[in-house]
Amino acid sequence: MNVGELLAATVPMAKTLNLQFLETTPERAVVRLPDQPDYHNHVGGPHAGAMFTLAESASGAIVLAAFGDQLSRAVPLAVKAEIAYRKLAKGVVTATATLGRPAADVVAELDAGGRPEFPVTIAIQREDEAVTGEMTVVWTLRPNA
């Protein structure tokens, strides 16, 4: 089972929103939110909360793909998130996440006894590729006690 399949099967919100994990590598994660009227807002597009969950899920997918081999000694935790809604989203939307810091640098800081923090940037796009939102989630690898 790859990271995307694992998240789709075990994370209740991902399952509820029917998120589709299209790509989950240490370099990039791509997650799709299908167009579902049950999760629309007052203007007929995906609700802001659904788009937040989509983007946060993409960030979690790349974190697990990049640092899954560190789980025996550290727990990945989201520290903070900021989202900007840029354009009206309609239909299917896709979130693409990228690490904002080289994974090797994060692991080196963990090796040195630190609790590294690193940003993950996410672009949310409609099917016409217009960016409807941008999000940054700052993650940490908290060493196990």
Could you list the pLDDT tens digit for every one of the 145 residues in the chain? Answer: 788 888 888 888 999 999 999 999 999 999 999 999 999 999 999 999 999 999 999 999 999 999 999 999 999 999 999 999 999 999 999 999 999 999 999 999 999 999 999 999 999 999 999 999 999 999 999 999 7
Per-residue burial over 114-136, b = 16 or more CB atoms within 10 Å of its CB, e = otherwise: eebebbbbbbbbbeeeeebbebb
> SS3 for 99?
strand
Mind listing the domains of the chain with CATH numbers? 3-143 (3.10.129.10)
pTM here is 0.95
